[in-house]
Structure 1
Amino acid sequence: MPSRLHGVMTQVARWLAQGMALVLALSFATVATAAGPGPAAAMPSIAFHYGARPPVDALQAFDIAVVEPDSGFDPRQAATPATAWFAYVSVGEVLESRAYYKAIPQAWFIGRNDAWKAHVIDQAAEDWPAFYVDKVIAPLWERGYRGFFLDTLDSYQLAARTDTERARQEAGMVRVIRAIKARYPEARLVFNRGFEILPQVHGLAYAVAFESLFRGWDQGKGCYVEVPQADRDWLLAQARTIREQYRLPVISIDYCPPADRRCARETAQRIRALGITPYVADPALQTIGVGSVEVLPRRVLVVQGQPPGESIDNSEGVRFVSMPLNYLGYRVEFAGVGDPLPDLGPDRYAGVVTWFEGPVDEAAAGRLRQWLGKQMEKGIPVAFLNDFGLRMTGTLAHSLGLDLAKGRVGGPVQVVSKDPMMGFEAAVSPDRSRAVPVQAGAGSRPLLRLRSGTLTYDAAAITPWGGYAIRPYAVLTGIRSTDPERWIVQPLAFLREALRLPAMPVPDVTTENGRRLLTIHIDGDGFASRAEMPGGGFSGEVLFREVFDRYRLPMTMSVIQAELSADGMYPKLSAELEPIARKIFAQPYVEVASHTFSHPFTWALTVPEGRQSAQAGKNHGHDHGAGKQATQAEEAYHLPVPGYTMDLNREIGGSIEYINRKLAPANKPVSLLLWSGDCQPPAQALKLAAQARVLNMNGGDTVITRSNPSWTAIAPLGINKPDGTFQVFAPNQNENVYTNLWHGPYYGFERVIETFELTDKPYRFKPVNIYYHSYSGTKVASLKALRKVYDYVLAQPLLPLHSSDYVRKVLDWQDMAVARELGDPGDGMQPGAWIVRGDGNLRNLRWTGAGMPELASARGVTGTSAAPGGGVYLHLDGGDVRFVMRDAPAVAASASTLQLAEANGIVRNWQRQGSVTRFAFGGYYKPFFRLAGAANCRVSVDGKPVQGVRERDTLRVDTAPLTDLNHASQAVEIRCAA
């Protein structure tokens, strides 16, 4: 929480500030901007967040994040290598909610801070320093905190009335700070004020913070305040002393309303212009504020009219809305209109998208209208797709800034005007039965204006608060499930405009080092099936001989335990099948996965609630024959394993344990669980996979082909389920879809090549993913199709990786932070460098805005390459990236900078030191890297000189393949002549 005193100062200090205001302000500004090389200039960016669940994804954009340690956050679990986590600790006061409160002797309480309902502690108590280190600091150090924000350093002034009393309290506080550093010399301590004791302990401080340089919060009155000039000048005098005399960085924490991002941004810029590190947020520090960097929100909430109990997996928000938002760089979360709608903030949410099939019920309508109004008041854009969800009345139209159109529908509908983004995948086919009588109001731009009879109305528009596209002008859907679906509005353009999405570097999971990614994974179904071809054998044998070992590409292989194990469906075949699986898993290019124990078909039925629901439906309320029907129900939703009753633990943890014990090499345990059947696992299943320490994947329906060339047939990266779990979807669908559920044609899987091409141009939506079942090894036609697909991908510039590598990229994508540094005063306070951070698994950004990245000054960027659809890919070496965008001519002038033009492998830890560049490199399949700007360079790999090949104005170097890129790499060194 903020300091308990919020700017307490003595009358002497006030007189000094008033008497020297102009001199101090001018001299401090001179030191900050002209003399300026003090430590403050090098102060890392810092954020403060005291909420119950710190948003790790956004906070990792900062170098230091100070959090409330009682929030439950564990820094040891945070995969944020570029961010240090500091704990908020109160020195001068204690709240009764603290775990150590009851252990404090009552005699140590010498006063109260009524504004914060806290007890003031006697700093002069003899045993207080040891108590504080043992009970407060030590437990936090054990939890992984290595820095501490020491608050309430001036609370003693609430109880100490004389100079002697104040001196005793200050001496006690000095002892506390020295005790912390004596026990933990590496601890970094940030003081919140504590000006009176700095002469004695400044050498132990990492930085000094104060609050409210320009904007403050009056806790007693509950309002925001402008800081008086006299108070500001007094603080500037303190800051000057800290910088010049103690050579310490200075931080100012100011306060603005959480919805007023402009206030936060402008206040932070004013603070930074004085050479002070800023952080501006709400007074409770519950939101992501603006500091030296401003984090761009990467979340969008989709609100749907989803019936109670219906799976979210098949909803329009997942099927239609998510993929375009993912491509634009946004994580999608979901809420049902009947659920309690969350309180959003513009610090974390870039917008709201709704999808309704018609007006919601009356009970929900009032809540929805009120909730939408609040989001708009906060400045969060809202986009309505398909239906407003509310009956259009004059009151509603007025609240949305729309005009209620007058007139009657009659006769054919005519198109009065149409924006180029309308009629994207199918022509606009006016439908008067869906007319909503509204017109875009002032400040809006109609996208589709129609006229029928005497009614002229706008079916789609961009508005000051967002935008809308009403059916059938969002997605055209048919009456039957087999009818084609088509986007009428161009979804990327519409969502970008309606949600006011800024140009930003977009984390991208399709590409790395200039090459589109390739993954291969096989669901184990049919491993025990016999091949219907000369030579016979089990399908697993045929696939190994005819595909796996022929191409030796990195791949992920799974098996269904019940097909192989002695306690499964074919106990007599187990002795033949298990050795085949062991041989496949032993190959260095094979990653081991489980496809469960019994292959559930309908995952909703794997939990008791789902089974009870299905059983009630089958029995029609009758008890007679329930046992027999229950057995039939069991066999209906998983493979018919004799005597088996559904057990999620056995499906997931049990199958993984079996594979690790019986089939996998000792040094290569199961990495992935590949979902079976409908691929809609409940939360319990997702959590069990996490408990088994394996990743999981499958689901999604990317089946776009030339006969169905619609973006509606491209699935998103995965799905955030309402319970907080996340499921990663397979990049493409398997051969079942292309062979009509294995009814033929059996060569149908060769059409996946169409999918690969249509998800690459005009935009690259997906990596290449060869995904099929073991039974593809049973027929001549399916084998030929597989070979055709494999031969095709080998002719493309692809980077082969394992499926687990891809899953890690998607998980990293979910939580990556994209931020922008505040501009410098000399640049007119224009935004500065881009900051992008993650855990290092995703190493590709897509930029489609103006300019090009300047590589010579960049951190974490190794090179660039052209991106389909325009723009460039930025090649990354890890999860900590900083770069500046420059005009293309300026970047072209420095094009001689050594850079990575392309690599068939993974590059990490790219470091430039003068004329020497070093990095770690490794690839699974025919790895190489290609360097641009290397005309006068020599290359060595693992200390041995290598002779590269000069081609296309680049230097290509081939290396030996590796089997485990997470634990092995080759050291590359490049020395270039001046």
Structure 2
Amino acid sequence: MGFLPIGGTSLAMAAGTPALAIANPNIAFYYGAHPPVDELQAFDDVVIDPATATPPDAQSTPHTAWLARIDLRTQTDNSAQTPAAYVSQTVTPLWNRGYRGFLLDDGAPLDQNDRPDDGWLAGLVQAIHAQYPQARVMLRNHLGLAAHIADQLSAVMVDSLYRRYDLLGGFFADVPAAERAEALQRIGALRRSGASLAVVAVDYCARDDRACRRDAANRLEHDGLTPFVTDPSFATVGIGRIEVMPRKILVVQTPEQGEPLDLTAGVRDIAMPLNYLGYDIQYADANQALPHDIDSDRYAGIVVAIDRTVDNPDAWRRWLLGRIRAGVRVAVLGQFGFPIDQEAARALGLEVVPGAAPPDVAPHIVDKAPMMGFEILPPPDIRDALGVRVGAQGKPLLRLKAGSYVYDMAGMLPWGGYTLDPYGIATLGGIQQERWAIQPIDFFEQALALPEMPVPDVTTENGRRLLFVHVDGDGFASRTEFPGPAYGGQALYDQIFTKFPIPMTLSVIEGEVGPTGLYPKISPTLESIAREIFALPNVEIGSHTYSHPFNLEMIDPKTGARITGKVKKEWGGDSAFSLDIPHYKFNLNREIQGSIDYIDRRLAPPGKHVVVLQWPGDAAPPAIAVRRAYAAGVLNINGGDTVITKTNNSWTDIAPYGVSKGPQPDDFQVYAADMDENVYTGDWTGPFYGFTRVLETYALTDRPIRFKAIDIYYHFYSGTKLASLRALRQVYESTLKQAVLPIYTTEYIKRVLDWRRVAVAREGNRWLVRSGANLRELRWPLGHGVPDLKTATGVSGYLPGPGGLYIHMGGDQASFSIAPRGAGDIPYIAEAAGFVRHYRRDARAMSFDFGGYYKPFVSFADANGCRVTVDGKAVAAPVRNGVLRVDVAGRAAQQVTYHSLKVNCE
């Protein structure tokens, strides 16, 4: 049985990217139908099959060229078609789609004694250049021909230097050492001939064998080649000089029929600590079809959060054990979801405890790991015992004993870890609260073996905690209860919006303000107030829909129509689905696009328009509603319920950054960072000064760990009472005394959306991060070193803060290694109340554009001997204890005013 060559490739750059390749690029190959763009964008060039995949928009991956595969193996008779005709038929359509280079693959194996004068293939290269002189052309194997036409090629891809895969037999075989040595000799001769060709070596490992990929990539790099190691079908995020860190985690749970995803434990409790660790969450239902492509190249692990019976436990067990066998780490929180018999126990490295648990003997704790009993430690109850112990290869986290019956309610094993009810999330029914019985960050880090890596951060920028403001439109038509302005909106304009010159995002409900809504007689007055508010330079405009649906979960996820039937009592009983607007029948497009059009047409000043939809009511829209918001050209926010306070002090009350309602990027709902005043005022029954308690939430989500940005989130009805207005002023004044960086709500949303897609990769002892257009901050463990600024690119500075070292990026990509301590003689940005753009460093000199909305300044550390110019003018800024601070002009407006800063140090 012969060994067949695998795959085929073509290089081609997507539209909008430069025609010339960078020197010695990192190249990946992926031929599957749905390339994992988020992970692959860590590479400079990515080869895809244009027959099954389409490259993403160049703006979303500005540092990656997406290359097309041309498979010449269909060209069996070279005389049947001239090279020029082949270019016209095959190459030109790819060129018109934006590709600017081509790898030609006729299936020739590396050991083929190819002729330097291979006429048809050489003619094809010449024909491509004749038609498209700027095209990059690359060959697969064909080393003899490559040497002959080296001046017409950009690179050569060789494959199977160490392993071949037998397509018919389905097995790998090692390449004989003599054959490999001969190939390396030919590659060396090609290089010595003076050809400046990059040589990319592709090798193969099983899809689930990450260790094999690492080892093979190291061997190829040791041979002096640019490596890429993947599976035989080219459907894996392989390893080259760089290894991409997977940043997705799948949470599998069992929601009740009709239960909104937002209310499940996977979203409500589990996602937040995983977000903090840097991981984007996807969700699956163990009672539905489970995904088949959950592999360790893209997923850092699986979290099982099952809290009720699985319909088909055998199918669920097969799926989960299959993922474990494939090398995917698993953390079980609550229950496994299938019986742990002897067979399942062996597969999981567990031991079934012989005999039965004694019902009349109270169990007690024998051994407890430090992570157990984090916020609460429920008393042992023999009825909770599953009857398993951790085997010899594992480590118990919570061992209990009842008489001679010894069992483990939590443990770590080679495949991951588990903690069983009630030692994961414990419910306190009497006070309707929850507590973590296990320290979730420690548990997930250990169970999923999460690597230490730079974590993209949406709470901070340039060392300052992000602050944004958004106001829902509820109560815009409500009258004030004190002398002065007639309506709450006017009171807020007078006492808040114009008094605190920071970015704010304000919305209205068309059904309250507009002429077709509830109050047509006072609509002209309300519209006038809205126009005055929206005209403020520090205000961006949002919509809070047309009729303010109270129960977005009652929208049909397929059609977008209202589901008739009972609604939640807390939203007004059986009849109240939304505001009772005469003659109005719910229509999702009217709620979203219609309300946006109304505000843009009647309320927004010239040059402004609606930029965000602020979800109303339960803020639990189905995917169809989220998609329609994006289709309307706006971002979206609300939901999440972050309400941690001193009297409800649990991490279970800190929501994640958002929730993915489906598989597409436009299915993602961004949550409010903190909850609104309604929560702190007894659902607006009092005390009406209660919003001051949100300061507790801000503090508890900042120290000892910074989980959240600050979100001053409230409604227009806060302008109707003196107590609530005083509370608002106190919140603003207290917050602005802190080390914050005010931004617009949409700027926060864009950071969250970028956060989901950030690529983090390791290259030896260096880190490569590509963060997108908006996100500029990374977090690194405190005490584990700092970026080596002497060798870093794209790093503007760093500052210790709550929970980590905050590393500032000067652009949308950075490369750095970690040193034990700072260099001490290289100035850097320690802190900045503004945005750094176009950052450049040259030894002890820096230049960049800088601006901000509220009291912008930048502080430089290790700045002895430094001089600063702002817009070309020298600034007198004394250095104190090695720190130099420069203040610049700035104000809250729709566009930041940037200043050119240059720092030169002796």
Verify: 1:639 aligned to 2:579, yes or no: yes
Q: Which residue of 2 aligns with 1:459?
A: 409
Structure 2 partner of 1:355: 305
Separation in 1, partners of 2:110, 2:384? 69
Higher mean alpha-carbon deviation, 633-642 vs 701-710, is at 633-642
Secondary structure at the aligned position of 2:619 is classed as: coil
State the SS of the aligned residue for 1:321: helix
Q: Answer whether contact 1:600 1:606 (CA < 8 A) is retained.
A: no
1:971 alignment partner in structure 2: 900
State whether structure 2 residue 85 is matched by structure 1 residue 144.
no
Cα contact 2:7–2:233 (8 A) shared by 1: no
Indicate whether 1:780 and 2:719 are aligned.
Answer: no
What is the match of residue 187 of structure 2? 239
Deviation sequence 1:903-929 (CA, Å, 0-9, x none):
000112211124431112111111111
Cα distance, 1:458–1:914 mapped onto 2, change above 3 Å: closer
Matches within 5 A, 1:448-527: 448-479=398-429, 482-527=431-476
| TM-superposed deviation, 1:203 | 1.5
Q: Which amino acid aligns with 1:186?
A: Q
Equivalent in 42, 50, 62 of residue 43 of structure 2: 62
Cα distance change of structure 1 residues 234 and 947 upon mapping to structure 2, 3 Å threshold:
same
Distance 2:199 2:92 in 1: 26
- 1:827-838 to 2 correspondence within 5 Å? 831-838=764-771
Query: Equivalent residue of 1:918, what SS?
Result: strand
Seen in structure 2, the aligned counterparts of structure 1 residues 131 and 78 have a Cα distance that, compared at 3 Å, is: farther
How far residue 358 of structure 1 moved from its aligned partner, in angstroms, is 4.3
**Mapped contact 1:569–1:641 kept (Cα < 8 A):** yes
Cα distance change of structure 1 residues 296 and 431 upon mapping to structure 2, 3 Å threshold: same
Q: Does 1:384 align with 2:326?
A: no
Q: Distance in 2 between matches of 1:565 and 1:308?
A: 38
1:51 maps to 2:32: yes
Corresponding residue SS for 1:909: strand
Q: How far does the alpha carbon of each residue in 1:17-54 deviate from its partner, in whole angstroms, 9 at most, with x for none?
A: xxxxxxxxxxxxxxxxxxxxxx9995111111111111
Q: Cα deviation per residue 1:420-443 (whole Å; 9 max; x = unaligned)?
A: 111111134212221111111112
Query: Which one of 68, 75, 91 corresponds to residue 120 of structure 1?
Result: 75
CA-to-partner distance for each residue in 1:376-400, whole Å, 9 max, x for gaps?
A: 1112111111112112323322221
State whether structure 2 residue 689 is matched by structure 1 residue 752.
Answer: no
Greater shift, 588-597 or 73-82, is seen at 73-82
Change (3 A) 1:515 1:322: same
Offset at 1:504? 0.9
Q: Within 1, Cα distance between the matches of 2:382 and 2:47?
A: 57
Q: Distance in 1 between matches of 2:702 and 2:450?
A: 23
The aligned counterpart of 1:537 is: 486
Does structure 1 residue 568 correspond to structure 2 residue 517? yes
Per the alignment, residue 16 of structure 1 pairs with: none
- 1:208-607, aligned counterparts within 5 Å? 208-245=156-193, 246-343=195-292, 344-361=294-311, 364-406=312-354, 407-409=356-358, 410-479=360-429, 482-607=431-556
What corresponds to 2:13 in structure 1? none
Inter-CA distance 185–867: structure 2 relative to 1 (3 Å threshold): farther
| 1:923–1:965 contact (8 Å) kept in structure 2 | no
Question: Equivalent of 1:194, from 128, 142, 164?
Answer: 142
For the 8 Å contact 1:40–1:248, the answer to whether it is kept is no
Secondary structure of 1:447's match?
strand
Instruction: Specify every segment of 5 or more residues in structure 2 that has no aligned partner in the other structure, as ranges.
Output: 9-19
Separation in structure 2 between the aligned mates of residue 389 and residue 167 of structure 1, nearest angstrom: 62
Compared CA separation, residues 949 and 557, structure 1 to 2 (3 A): farther
Q: Which residue of 2 aligns with 1:867?
A: 801
Which residue identity is paired with 1:773?
A: H
Q: Is the 8 A contact 2:501 2:892 kept in 1?
A: no
Q: Which moved more, 1:407-416 or 1:467-476?
A: 407-416
Superposition CA RMSD, Å: 2.6
User: Structure 1 residues 424-433 or 283-292, which shifts more?
Assistant: 424-433
Whether contact under 8 Å (2:555, 2:563) holds in the other structure is no
Structure 1 stretch displaced more, 219-228 or 732-741: 219-228
Cα distance in structure 2, aligned partners of 1:777 and 1:964: 23
- Determine which of 853, 870, 875 is the counterpart of 1:946: 875
Q: 1:801 to 1:617 in 2, by over 3 A?
A: closer
Paired amino acid for 1:61? A
Per the TM alignment, residue 951 of structure 1 is displaced from its structure 2 partner at its CA by: 3.8
- CA deviation digits over 1:179-236, x for unaligned, max 9? 3233333332222123343245322222111111112212232221211123212321
Give the letter aligned to residue 366 of structure 1: D
Q: Quick check: 2:670–2:749 contact (8 Å CA) kept in 1?
A: yes
Deviations 1:79-132 (A, max 9, x none): 112212211122x23xxxxxxxxxxxxxxxxxxxxxxxxx33444456x43433
Structure with the bigger percentage of helix: 1
Taking the aligned partners of 1:134 and 1:565, their CA distance within structure 2 comes to 58
Q: Name the CA distance, whole Å, in 1 between partners of 2:420 and 2:755.
A: 31
Distance 1:41 1:671 in 2: 37
Q: CA–CA distance in 2 between the matches of 1:673 and 1:635?
A: 25
- How far apart in 1 are the matches of 2:455 and 2:882? 29
Deviations 1:412-465, CA, capped at 9 Å, x for gaps: 221111111111111342122211111111121111111223322111111111
- The share of aligned pairs that are identical, in percent, is 45
Would you say the 8 A contact 2:702–2:802 is kept in 1?
A: yes
Counterpart contact for 2:329–2:447, Cα < 8 Å: yes
Amino acid at match of 1:973: K
Distance 2:559 2:134 in 1: 54
What displacement does 1:949 show? Answer: 4.5
Distance 1:912 1:477, change over 3 A: same
* Distance in structure 1 (CA, Å) of the matches to 2:405 and 2:7: 62
Q: Is the 8 A contact 2:826 2:862 kept in 1?
A: yes
The superposition leaves residues 923-942 of structure 1 with CA deviations (integer Å, 9 ceiling, x where unpaired) of 11111111112222222222
SS for the counterpart of 2:850 is strand
In structure 2, relative to structure 1, the CA distance for the partners of 1:442 and 1:783 (3 Å cut) is: same
1:563 and 1:884 mapped to 2: Cα distance? 55
TM-score (norm 1): 0.86
Deviations 1:814-861 (A, max 9, x none): 11111101xxxxxxxxx3201111213111111117322211211111
CA shift in 2, pair 1:975/1:230, >3 Å: same
- Residue 133 of structure 2 corresponds to residue 185 of structure 1: yes
SS of 2:610's equivalent? coil
Structure 1 unmatched runs, 5+ = 9-38, 94-118, 619-631, 822-830
Between stretches 286-295 and 657-666, larger displacement belongs to 657-666
Contact 1:606-1:646 at 8 Å conserved across structures:
no
Distance apart, 1:808 and its partner CA: 0.8
Stretch deviating more after TM superposition (698-707 or 142-151): 142-151
Say yes or no: does 1:853 pair with 2:787: yes
